[in-house]
Amino acid sequence: MIILNTKQDYKNHINLLKSKGEIIGFVPTMGNLHDGHLSLIEIAKKNSSKIIVSIFVNPLQFGKNDDFNKYPRTFNRDVSKLKDLNCDILFAPNDTYEVFDEIDNLKYLKAGPKGNILCGKLRPGHFDGVLKVVYTLFKLTEPDVSIFGLKDFQQLYLVKKMARKYFPNIDIISAPTIRAKNGLALSSRNSYLDKTSIKIAPLFYKILLEGINNLKHSTSIEQTTNKIINSLEKNKFLVNYVSLLTIDLEKLNPNSSDKKILLSSVNLGGTRLIDNIEFS
What is the number of other CB atoms lying within 10 angstroms of the CB of residue 95? 10
37 in catalytic set: yes
- Find all residues with CB under 8 Å of 275, minimum gap 6, and list them: 151, 177, 185, 204, 205, 208, 263, 264
| Tally of CB atoms within 10 A around 45 | 17
- Per-residue CA distances from 178 to 34, 39, 234, 274, 278 (Å): 10, 8, 26, 13, 14
Give the Cα separation of 271 and 219 in Å (integer): 33
Catalytic residue among 13, 34, 37, 217: 37
CA 189 to chain centre: 12
Active-site residue list: 37
